[in-house]
Structure 1
Amino acid sequence: MTQHASTRMARWVGSCSGVFAWVGVLCLSLAAVAQTAAQTTGPARTLPLSQLQSGLHFSGPDVQALQADEFANPAQLWLGQGAARWRQAAANGKSCSGCHGDVASMKGVATRYPAIDPASGRLFNLEDRINHCTTRHQQAAVLPPESDALLGLTLLVAQASKGLPLRVDVGGAAQPHWQAGAALFNRRQGQLNLSCAQCHDQHFGQRLYTDPLSQGQPNGYPVYRLEWQKTGSLERRLRSCYAGIRAETPPWGATEMRQLALYLMWRGEGLPVEVPAVRK
């Protein structure tokens, strides 16, 4: 090989080495992007957003009429209690209205819970947030789960977002909770060996005994259920499902219940807040 040809060959090899190195860097970058995307996308949607339906859609005409009647809707009793407590001052003289003004200032709040509490790093549902304000700012006792006082305030705050779409944050510190909630939703549990997904993703619209299965959407809570003869929280409904499949029920306030609620709220993203709601 001549000296001139050797020089050209050396230049060509050098050029190729540079190209191969650039391609290698590009491939590594793309792999990193793909890995990051896989980590942040999380659970896939089983129900397309265009097919989401509120539980009211699966209710009978009598329940639908009761919810639509502003005067006959029994949840109005809890709304009234919530409105009174919103204005009521605690022993230290502070009230909800004293800090927040009219409850209309809560517009949009209910659409984004459960959410991470920045101070503690814990996953709070709306009831947790209300109790946090009650104990920290009013220096009052914790409102017990399912108490009329807590349900009334929660329903009142939720009504301020009536008609707004659910839109929770499932990124950042909330992501592991969201993924855990998805795992709970799809996990078979209890003596009946059933998962939430089997009823509410795979068989909604079909009848279980006399009633059609809904999609299990959370946009109407706190909700008045005729079987309870009172308003109840989403956590109470989830606990009822655990009992229905004969599974071990987590204690009140368990993180698992908030994780499952977070996943349900993301799953129902776009559905409007629908309170005061009535279900059978």
Structure 2
Amino acid sequence: MKLAALLLLVMAPAVFAQDLRRSGFDDMSRETQAMQRDDLQNPGMLWVQEGAALWAQPPAAEGKACSGCHTAASMRGVATRYPAFDAVLQRPVNLSQRINLCRERRQKSAPLAHESPDLLALESYVAHQSRGLPIAPPDDARLQPYRTRGEAMYRQRLGQLDLSCAQCHDQRAGLRLGGSRIPQGHANGYPLYRLEWQSLGSLQRRLRNCLTGVRAEPYPFGDMALIELELYLASRDEGMTLEAPAVRP
């Protein structure tokens, strides 16, 4: 009887993660939830506003602004579909990479640095246009090998602590670690403002933090391993509401 109860305790979080998915929003305090709900209190909206200004500003004297090709309304739904396959590069790219590719190909402008204020602002602005929509990963067979590798990485034990993403965010979701509730690890709010960072950051920043947390060598920003993990997380989050810019503890 005790063994059965123990097995139920271990297995329950994994079932919970699959059938009763919870956004990180659901595990926050009422005060932090209120901060996210109110655009006047949500610090991430500062990046959205900066992104709106950059959207209308040509990157160079002879360049063309993003708004010269795309209206804000035309961006609705775009963020829900990334990472997506790029036919020219013949590989998947995430939303920030797509923004940089657009700058290079159409605006003849230098790419923005990973995690730079301007790139985060533009990504936040584009993602914000899709707030409230369900995450809808592309049904593209070309993405499947990358997604499969991303799932393998999600389940792989890593680092000196020998832990996998699944062990924390599937098997132990809802339990507590150091006084904080372990979330299910859904990526439906990025880019988001994290109170711990006192800043806005990308999903790749968070993934690198997790790798450091298990004492593993983090992959560089933009590395294909991180894109593959993003792809798997998007499929795991399919149908969940996009919250960008979310707020998290």
TM over 0.5: yes
d(CA) in 2 for partners of 1:48, 1:222: 22
8 Å CA contact retained: 1:107, 1:161: yes
Answer yes or no: is the 8 Å Cα contact 1:207–1:213 preserved in 2. yes
1:182-221 matches, cutoff 5 A: 182-221=151-190
2:136 matches 1:167: yes
Matches within 5 A, 1:1-280: 50-91=19-60, 92-100=62-70, 102-169=71-138, 171-280=140-249
TM-score normalized by structure 2?
A: 0.91
Identity %: 49
CA distance in 2, matches of 1:192, 1:254: 23
Q: Distance in 1 between matches of 2:126 and 2:147?
A: 23
The answer to which of 171-180 and 182-191 deviates more is 171-180
RMSD of the TM alignment (CA)? 1.4
- Asked if 2 retains the 8 angstrom alpha-carbon contact of 1:165 and 1:272, the reply is yes
In structure 2, C-alpha distance between the alignment counterparts of 1:170 and 1:198, rounded to whole Å = 28
Quote the residue 1:7 is aligned against.
none
SS in 2 for 1:201: helix
After TM superposition, the runs of 4+ consecutive aligned structure 1 residues lying more than 6 A away are none
Q: Comparing both chains, which one has the higher relative contact order based on Cα–Cα distances under 8 Å and sequence gaps of 6 or more? A: 2
Contact in 2 for aligned 1:219/1:273 (Cα 8 Å): yes
Distance in 2 separating the partners of 1:143 and 1:157: 15
Q: Distance in 2 between matches of 1:143 and 1:178?
A: 26
Q: Distance in 1 between matches of 2:232 and 2:16?
A: 13
Bigger drift between 54-63 and 188-197 goes to 54-63
8 A Cα contact 1:49 1:269, kept in partner: no
Corresponding pairs, count: 235
2:43 counterpart letter in structure 1: P
Shift of 1:123: 1.0
**Structure 1 equivalent of residue 11 of structure 2:** none
1:230 shift after superposition: 0.8
C-alpha separation in 1, matches of 2:96 and 2:124? 10
Counterpart code for 1:168? P
1:78 is displaced (CA, Å) by 0.3
In the alignment, the residues of structure 2 paired with residue 61 and residue 134 of structure 1 have an alpha-carbon distance, to the nearest angstrom, of 40
- Flag structure 1 segments of 5+ consecutive residues without an equivalent: 1-44
Q: Give, in angstroms, the shift of residue 172 of structure 1.
A: 1.3
Amino acid at match of 2:219: P
Task: Quote how far apart the aligned CAs of 1:114 are.
Answer: 0.5
Q: Is the 8 A contact 1:170 1:266 kept in 2?
A: no
Give how far 1:264 is off. Answer: 0.3
1:16 corresponds to which residue?
A: none
Aligned residue for 1:140, secondary structure, equals coil
Change (3 A) 1:170 1:236: farther
Cα pair 2:128 2:244 within 8 Å, conserved: yes
Higher CA-based Rg: 1
Gaps spanning 5+ residues in structure 2: where?
1-13
CA contact (8 A) 2:81 2:135 kept: yes
The alignment's TM-score, normalised by the length of structure 1, stands at: 0.81
